[in-house]
Structure 1
Amino acid sequence: LVNRLISPTGHVSGINIEILKPGKDEQEVPDITLFSRKLVEEFRLAHPDIDIYLIGGIVFDFAFKEVGMGDMATLVPAMFVVLLLVLGIILRSFSGVFSTSIIIALSMLTGMGLAGWVGISLTTASTNAPIIILTLAVADSIHILTTMFHSMRMGKAKHEAIAESLRINLVPVFLTSITTAIGFLSMNFSDAPPFRDLGNIVAMGVMAAFVYSVVFLPALLAVMPVRIKAKPESKASTCRPCEGLSSFVIKRQKPLFWGMLAFMVVLTAGMTQIELDDDWIKYFDKKYAIRQAGDFAQEHLTGFDIIEYSLESGESGGINEPAYLAKLDEFKQWY
């Protein structure tokens, strides 16, 4: 029991509770965890001089979902606000920022709504879907808006500029969306169901973003006031930084080609430094109780990674033979 349920100094002891879940209701894990937390709080009130930590597989499962839902409530709004600020700087148009935000929100809600209709449950992996959809959905709207604004600066009327933007961007945006969706749908080949769910949700959200961008966005822009000042053709079609960059690349094409190739090789070589590791307890920040309990248990009792060996005796009842027991003891001493 030492170093497993009792610390070497005897100042820490563990209580191991085996829970057999019926497996009939998704609410089993939350109910067990919340009830256990209630017992812990009652014990702490009755014995304030004793520290008690709650750890285990069921607690881990609930913590993943709990933290994921917390991230959705904080990271998604924060990223949305940052994205709107960046869009405002790039587009410099309230109508463009507002319409893009509508498309992004509809795409995220559609992806999550379709997930609910097809019976996909939220897990640690799938809770990241809204952030991924938000990131991908903005590209479709940006393509259509920038082309439309450029056409209006060239002197075209708003409706004519919308039609021109759709003519130019419909096929590229469709190809981008469908290839992105196919890429995420390939996650269905994963052995982990949560990652399959993530891929399906993002794929649905990406295709929803395409439909909204080519159907709803143009209609919204057509009825919204869009103020873009027309400029002389020479000024509207000139991008001095773009011309400077293109001239630089053309003049130094060979040095840039070999230099970028070497740069990419150096970066790619970093893949050899990647280590495969999966320490579940480090998935959580130290501010969470589950991480604090896990670190305490690993420091004073035992870790959560267990190596098991199967030592065959070679015959029925052979594990009771003195020769086998002696060999087993030799293995124990060696290990």
Structure 2
Amino acid sequence: MKIIIKDYRRASIITLTLVAIVCGYLGYRAISLKFNYDFEAFYPVNDPDADYYMKHRAKYGNANDFVLIGIVNSTGIFELSFLTKVKALTDSLKKVRHVQTVTSPTNVFSYQRAPMMGAPVKRPYLHYQKPQYYKADSIRIYQTPELVHHYFAKNGQSVNVYVRHTGLLPQKDCFVLAQEIKRLVANAQFERYHLAGRCIGQSFYVKLLRKEVILFVGSSFLLILVVLVLTFRSVWGVLLPLAVVAASIVGTLGIMTETNKAMDLILNAMPTILLVIGLSNVIHLLSKYLEELRRGATKMEAIKTAYYQIGLATFLTTLTTGVGFMSLASANVMAIVEFGVYCTVGLFLSFLLTYTLLPAVLVLMKAPKSTHNQRSYRFWKRTLQGWLHWVYRYPKTIVGITCAMALVSIAGLIRIEENSYMMEDLSSDSPIKRDFQFFEQEYSGTRPFEIALEITDSAKKMLDFEVLKTLEEIEQQAQKIFKLGHIWSPLALVKNAHRSLSGNSQSAYSLPKDQDRFAQIIKVLYKHRKLGSVQTIMQPSQKEARIHSRMQDVGSKRFKAMSAQMVQFMEQHPSKSWLKYKITGSVVLMDKNNNNLFYNLWQSLLIAFVVIGSIIGFLYKSFKFVLVSLIANILPLLVIAGIMGYAGLSLKLSTTIVFTIAFGIAVDDTIHFLSKLRIELNKGTSLLYAIKSTYFSAGKAIVLTSLVLCGGFLILAMSSFLGTFYLGLLVSITLLMAVISDLFLLPALLILTAPSSNKKK
């Protein structure tokens, strides 16, 4: 016996050494973990619309490479001191690295033909240094549609500075640019200002991600500390589980760094998820170990019994939870796929450490005193006996209540809609969301609008008169449907040139009817075709062009309906035989993802149901076990869907993954229950006795681990990101329903479906 114990001690020392080396290296790598909010990670992958947009962006540039600076002056914008500061800020911004152009109210101009020579000359819309011209300038400005709602607010109390920066800036440069812009604007000491744009949003998100990961992990460890103290009431019972879950999280973060994956908006919930799931595995193993010690087993006997009896169930729960996460790989959004993959990696790393690190330490340390808390024992015995009494006496009532809950939940499920907004992940008191709402209310919005155009008739070009007449009809319809701001397009180029050659009269902002005048305008445009304004609107071949504008964020559901109206119009338009048309853009791709969520949800759930059902069927060799386990775990999903429907929560990326995550985790307790039940049935006991024994043996651990999981996910509800908030809240509710289902519905179904001969005690 001593030789065997020495072998175990030697194996434990080797195991701990190897674990320390691997975890030490991964911990070192985890220090270099990066944070990122990659907008493009939410584009659909292997998608023709995404491929089309990438080609479109390569031709015309990225429509999201801008920063908007809304500057408020409540006493009115036409004040010398205010406009002088705006001019100084404009000049300072031009010197910032990566800034390409800065357009502000103090430097917007129009071209006007000189009366003597006929050459075009620049004429400012606003003579900011000459207050005597303010009245005339304001009249002219507010008669020019491309200025109002773009550079000048309609209420006359704010102006907008448009900063165009280098395309597709990496995160580091984006952060530096955002900080410099913020510094310059703050130093100008305006009454109030608002910022919007990709770089501004990205720097805000990344800073908040860092803060929330620390908040979640810290709060989770505090929760775990409390749970472990109350559960095991010993130093080793606290330190051992903490070491296992900490090593699991650090190891997973190290693997992320090794594979060049940064922490993003969805992955920020992963450490908390791994922490609470890993803890439940440890609690099950240690609880069984202590239970065996109380029964008089030696230390090694207790370790072996816990290892073999709990090990298989824990492996199955890890496997089924991993299946839930890996089913997310069927989504066509890379951010969701990566979330599923890295959570699965972390789960199996946690399982591996639980069954290597933990037993190795238990072998080396002295066995704890097998104390028995009589008060706790009486409480749990009395509680579990009361619940079991209800199950034995009222199984049909329990199933009936379940059916009623399912019907009510289905009624709520039908009310769920697919809808999303650009800034929906931020709470209403978030400063960046307030800035976003400012531009939505005072200007033309921040959502880019893109229509790609392509002429298929070799005899036609974009600057042909008939083609421009067609574009005019299309733009009028788009303006009517989408409520766009000012439109930039080949037609806008012609209108601008016509106005410039007509004394800059706003009435001349139109397509000229006189052919000679039109020919003159086209000649001017050909002369200046290398200008940036032309290149960003139309290709040199004049076969391809775009209609570009900005609009309000109306939500993906309403935008889908608007797009359908536009498609219907184009299908009936005479130009459909020679003009290809497509609404595109980054936000359109995001909307497409949300519109496909319902299909993705059912696909991932179906995969999870089939795989998990097959695993349970293969191991327990019982179709009844498969059926009752799936029924018991479908109910919590129906309940959470019903809650979403009644609460008006729409189906979006953050709420869709709740179902597969919750199902994968919720089925864990079912497997623990069925594993213990199978052991009892294999002893030859009756079903009722087996259920009773399972209830008293596994019931407490199921309740405790479920409460820990609920508490851990509720920590995510402290997030400033509403997506993470709803993920934590909804999964917590689902897991709470799952434990009720496992301890009431599951045994009730087993009793009702069992042969009468097997129900005898």
The question of 1:175 aligning with 2:312 is answered no
Q: Are the structure 2 counterparts of residues 288 and 331 from structure 1 closer, same or farther at C-alpha, using a change threshold of 3 Å?
A: closer
Q: Larger radius of gyration, structure 1 or 2?
A: 2
Contact 2:244/2:358 (8 A) holds in 1: yes
The question of 1:331 aligning with 2:477 is answered yes
Q: Give the number of the structure whose residues are more often strand, by fraction.
A: 2
Residue range with higher mean Cα deviation, 12-21 or 110-119:
12-21
Aligned to 1:320: 465
Matches within 5 A, 1:1-335: 1-21=147-167, 25-43=170-188, 48-225=189-366, 226-229=368-371, 239-308=381-450, 316-317=461-462, 320-321=465-466, 324=470, 327-328=473-474, 331=477, 334-335=480-481
Query: SS at the partner of 1:2?
Result: coil
Q: Are the structure 2 counterparts of residues 180 and 19 from structure 1 closer, same or farther at C-alpha, using a change threshold of 3 Å?
A: same
Contact 2:171/2:202 (8 A) holds in 1: no
Pairwise CA distance, 1:334: 4.7
Pairwise CA distance, 1:72: 0.8
Q: Are the structure 2 counterparts of residues 142 and 269 from structure 1 closer, same or farther at C-alpha, using a change threshold of 3 Å?
A: farther
How many residues align? The count is 327
Query: SS at the partner of 2:264?
Result: coil
Contact 2:220/2:276 (8 A) holds in 1: no
TM-score (norm 2): 0.40
Give distance in 2, aligned partners of 1:86 and 1:16: 53
- AA partner of residue 438 (structure 2): F
Pairwise CA distance, 1:158: 2.7
Give distance in 2, aligned partners of 1:62 and 1:180: 33
Contact 1:319/1:325 (8 A) holds in 2: no
Q: Are the structure 2 counterparts of residues 268 and 95 from structure 1 closer, same or farther at C-alpha, using a change threshold of 3 Å?
A: farther
Q: Are the structure 2 counterparts of residues 37 and 180 from structure 1 closer, same or farther at C-alpha, using a change threshold of 3 Å?
A: same
Contact 1:72/1:127 (8 A) holds in 2: yes
Give distance in 2, aligned partners of 1:52 and 1:167: 64
Residue range with higher mean Cα deviation, 4-13 or 299-308:
299-308
- 1:214-233: CA deviation from partner (whole Å, max 9, x where unpaired): 1111222334452322699x
- 1:157-190: CA deviation from partner (whole Å, max 9, x where unpaired): 2332121100101111112112322332333333
Aligned to 2:695: none
Q: Are the structure 2 counterparts of residues 189 and 319 from structure 1 closer, same or farther at C-alpha, using a change threshold of 3 Å?
A: farther
Query: SS at the partner of 1:7?
Result: coil
Q: Are the structure 2 counterparts of residues 157 and 239 from structure 1 closer, same or farther at C-alpha, using a change threshold of 3 Å?
A: farther
Q: Are the structure 2 counterparts of residues 296 and 74 from structure 1 closer, same or farther at C-alpha, using a change threshold of 3 Å?
A: same
Q: Are the structure 2 counterparts of residues 76 and 268 from structure 1 closer, same or farther at C-alpha, using a change threshold of 3 Å?
A: farther
What is the percent sequence identity of the aligned residues? Answer: 20
Q: Are the structure 2 counterparts of residues 273 and 10 from structure 1 closer, same or farther at C-alpha, using a change threshold of 3 Å?
A: same
- 1:33-54: CA deviation from partner (whole Å, max 9, x where unpaired): 22222222332xxxx2432222
Query: SS at the partner of 2:194?
Result: coil
Residue range with higher mean Cα deviation, 158-167 or 294-303:
294-303
Pairwise CA distance, 1:90: 3.3
Query: SS at the partner of 1:281?
Result: coil
Pairwise CA distance, 1:14: 1.2
Query: SS at the partner of 1:13?
Result: strand
Contact 1:12/1:301 (8 A) holds in 2: no
Pairwise CA distance, 1:252: 0.6
Give distance in 2, aligned partners of 1:155 and 1:319: 95
Give distance in 2, aligned partners of 1:196 and 1:217: 31
Q: Are the structure 2 counterparts of residues 3 and 148 from structure 1 closer, same or farther at C-alpha, using a change threshold of 3 Å?
A: same
- 1:262-309: CA deviation from partner (whole Å, max 9, x where unpaired): 212322432222232322323223454322311222222233335555
Give distance in 2, aligned partners of 1:110 and 1:162: 25
Give distance in 2, aligned partners of 1:329 and 1:192: 32
Give distance in 2, aligned partners of 1:254 and 1:319: 77
Contact 2:248/2:346 (8 A) holds in 1: yes
Contact 1:155/1:231 (8 A) holds in 2: no
Q: Are the structure 2 counterparts of residues 329 and 289 from structure 1 closer, same or farther at C-alpha, using a change threshold of 3 Å?
A: closer
Residue range with higher mean Cα deviation, 203-212 or 305-314:
305-314
Contact 1:5/1:14 (8 A) holds in 2: yes
Query: SS at the partner of 1:131?
Result: helix
Pairwise CA distance, 1:100: 1.2
Give distance in 1, aligned partners of 2:305 and 2:471: 83
- AA partner of residue 117 (structure 1): E
Query: SS at the partner of 1:229?
Result: coil
Residue range with higher mean Cα deviation, 32-41 or 213-222:
32-41
- 1:58-83: CA deviation from partner (whole Å, max 9, x where unpaired): 21122222211110121220122022
Give distance in 2, aligned partners of 1:103 and 1:325: 65
Q: Are the structure 2 counterparts of residues 176 and 127 from structure 1 closer, same or farther at C-alpha, using a change threshold of 3 Å?
A: same
Q: Are the structure 2 counterparts of residues 154 and 239 from structure 1 closer, same or farther at C-alpha, using a change threshold of 3 Å?
A: farther
Residue range with higher mean Cα deviation, 114-123 or 258-267:
258-267
- AA partner of residue 211 (structure 2): G
Give distance in 1, aligned partners of 2:421 and 2:297: 58
Give distance in 2, aligned partners of 1:76 and 1:246: 37
- 1:226-262: CA deviation from partner (whole Å, max 9, x where unpaired): 2322699xx89x9332233222101111111121122
Query: SS at the partner of 2:179?
Result: helix
- 1:93-142: CA deviation from partner (whole Å, max 9, x where unpaired): 44222211111111110111111111112221222211111121112101
- AA partner of residue 2 (structure 1): V
Give distance in 2, aligned partners of 1:326 and 1:207: 60
Query: SS at the partner of 1:53?
Result: strand
Contact 1:185/1:203 (8 A) holds in 2: yes
- 1:17-39: CA deviation from partner (whole Å, max 9, x where unpaired): 2222365x542222222222222
Query: SS at the partner of 1:55?
Result: strand
Give distance in 2, aligned partners of 1:142 and 1:289: 42
Q: Are the structure 2 counterparts of residues 252 and 325 from structure 1 closer, same or farther at C-alpha, using a change threshold of 3 Å?
A: closer
Q: CA-atom RMSD, angstroms?
A: 2.9
- AA partner of residue 291 (structure 1): K
- AA partner of residue 354 (structure 2): S
Aligned to 2:588: none
Q: Are the structure 2 counterparts of residues 51 and 148 from structure 1 closer, same or farther at C-alpha, using a change threshold of 3 Å?
A: same
Query: SS at the partner of 1:18?
Result: strand
